[in-house]
Amino acid sequence: MTEEIIIAGFGGQGVLSMGKILAYSGVMADQEVAWFPSYGPEMRGGTANVTVILSESRISSPVLNEYDTAIILNQQSMDKFEAMVKPGGVLIYDPNGIIHPPKRTDINIYKIEGTLIAAELGNVKTFNMVVLGAYLKAKPVVKMESVEKGLQKSLPTRHHYLIPMNLEAVQKGFESLELVQAV
Amino acid sequence: MGELRLMKGNEVIAEAAIRCGCDGYFGYPITPQSEVMETLMDREPWNETGMVVLQAESEIASIHMVHGAAGSGKKVMTSSSSPGISLMAEGISYLAGAELPCLIVNVQRGGPGLGTIQPSQADYWQSTKGGGHGDYRLIVLAPSSVQEMNDFVELGFKLAFKYRNPAMILTDGVIGQMMEKVVLADYIPRLTDEEINEKYGSWVTNGRKHNRQRNIITSLEMDSVRMENNNLRLQEKYARMEEEDVLFEEIQCEDAEYLLVAFGSSSRICQKAVDQAREKGIKVGLLRPISLFPFPKKPIAVLAKQVKGMLVVEMNAGQMIEDVQLAAGCSIPVKHFGRMGGIIPSPGEVVEALEQKLIGG
């Protein structure tokens, strides 16, 4: 099984680190992984995206023209990546800031109120972990224990005290995914 | 043995250098390879193995620091990206002329000129056919994964010392910036001064001890007859590389009717394209040159008798295609598909190009 994911949003939303934690979780579950970021003169408020591939076998191209799952966190990314979800694939988006919701009728669409939930949790920086939890509800590609191990591996030791808060956010996201359309 | 990590290609270059007993790194920052020196500075290997890491005032200074250190038999390296490598070109020619081993890493970006910081493969000609002046060659290795970024540091040094010739890892922003799983090598201790004298005493300039013969390192020779002989010696060495150290990988070539030829990150994209094309019933294989010099001429000549056509896929306007055409001969069509300026082709585009340029045409 191979899962090809694009995570796209604003710089500063934690798009790259969400991808990194997902990739580490894959490593912990003994999967092959690739993490390929858009890089460049990017900054907070600009666009950022990352391709993450999890697979049971050797991964070929880190550059893709279609994805199993798109996690979309701003309108620019919706405009760019909605069309690139494989038919029957999954699109997850945070409606905050989305003016034109997805129109595809041949894909599974989910919503996650990540921005609201992170604010309710009292730390807006946990936004990306809420979204990660929502994704894992839609696509259980790695187990929660692998995510915990992934967090331990990817965060420097001095930040390990933040892991419980992050796991709470993942759990909250997992419970809060809303189905918009199933095919 | 076998520490498993998730790392960026650029970070792995630094880690592999420390672990393979590298004595010194001299460099100057440039996107998309800055993580090489960042990682080295973060790791502080001078405390651990005694490896020197120095940010020079420019790329030109870096390559000449490499020249000096290489002359003393030390295992030394630099890294940069396309415009920085152009600045180093004079020094690289001098290193080749003086027959000094070293490792140069080029994490390519789009050109010409200052170009873009996005990935490209437009330095193929510069790496394999010169860049600097004079009849010289570099050993050029093109990794296609983060694991190979690790493996080729040690391999590059090994070949550089085998031939007393600069070796280059030619990669790009895709592999440099991508994170994958990598199994790191075990530590190899740095050579002691005694070991350097024992192994390389015939040519190193590290101080005359024990009344050994005086060694001179220079690329200058004013006598034309002697200079031609120097050139002939270099040419013999390059011919030996072509005999002994050609590296390539064949993927699904056994029953192939069409062949993709691609190196580095393009070859990863082509692997996916092979799968997509085969789903459509097109029997296509992939030949991936790993050593760009010495170039895998023979396997291409052999496959030219088997397939109906070849598509060379590169992130440039068509550079390696010339070597593929020379190796394949004129019996089959050899076409090119490339994107430039930092655009990375998708597997779908490659399949489309294959259908339009070879199968339909």
The pLDDT tens digits for B126-159 are 999 989 999 999 999 999 999 999 999 999 999 9
Residue B47 neighbours by CB distance under 10 Å: 8
Delineate the domains of chain A, giving CATH numbers in brackets: 2-181 (3.40.920.10)
Report the alpha-carbon distance of residue A149 to residue A27 in Å, rounded: 9
Burial of B166-175, coded b for 16+ CB within 10 Å and e otherwise, reads: bbbbbbbbbb
Tell me if A63 and B174 make a contact (CB, 8 A cut-off): yes
| Per-residue model confidence as pLDDT tens digits over B287-313 | 999 999 999 999 999 999 999 999 999
CB contacts of B275 in chain A (<8 Å) are 60
Q: Using CA atoms of B31, B35, B38, B43 in order, give the dihedral in degrees to the nearest 10.
A: -170
Query: What percent of chain A lies above the pLDDT cut of 90?
Result: 89
Kindly give, in sequence order, each residue whose CB lies less than 8 Å from that of residue B174, ignoring residues fewer than 6 positions away: A36, A62, A63, B119, B264, B265, B268, B344
Higher-scoring residue by pLDDT: A66, A47: A66
Q: Where in chain B is the domain with CATH 3.40.50.970?
A: 3-184
Partner-chain contact A63 B177, CB within 8 Å: no
Question: Is the minimum CB–CB distance between A38 and chain B shorter than 8 Å?
Answer: no
Chain B nearest C-alpha distance from A115 (Å): 28
ipTM more than 0.85?
Answer: yes
pLDDT band at A42 (very low <50, low <70, confident <90, very high): low
* CA-closest candidate to residue B175, choices B128, B107, B241: B107
pTM: 0.95
Query: According to the model, what pLDDT value does residue A41 have?
Result: 64
pLDDT digits (tens, 9 = 90+) for B23-35: 999 999 999 999 9
* Cβ contacts of A16 on chain B, cutoff 8 Å: none
Task: Evaluate if residue B209 carries a pLDDT over 80.
Answer: no
CATH code assigned to B3-184: 3.40.50.970
Give A11's pLDDT tier (boundaries 50, 70, 90): confident
Residues of each domain in chain B carrying CATH 3.40.50.920: 249-359
**How close is the nearest chain B Cα to the Cα of A100, in Å?**
27
pLDDT over 80 at A51, yes or no: yes
> How many angstroms separate the Cα of A19 from the Cα of each of A4, A38, A62, B147?
12, 12, 13, 20
pLDDT of residue B203: 95
What's the pLDDT band for A40 if we cut at 50, 70, 90?
Answer: low
Q: Over the stretch A162-183, which tens digit does the pLDDT of each residue have? A: 999 999 999 999 999 999 999 9
- Tell me which of A106-110, A154-158, B208-212, B246-250 is least confident: B208-212
Residue B268 has its nearest CB partner, among A35, A39, A61, at: A61
Give the pLDDT score at B360.
84
- The arrangement of secondary structure in B249-359, i.e. its CATH architecture, is 3-Layer(aba) Sandwich (3.40)
Residue A1 binned pLDDT confidence (cut-offs 50, 70, 90): confident
B361: pLDDT strictly greater than 60 = no
Cβ-based neighbours of B194, under 8 Å, separated by 6 or more: none
Residue of B nearest to A50 (CA): B178
Mean pLDDT of B314-322: 98
Give the length of chain A. 183
Rounded mean pLDDT, B37-57: 97
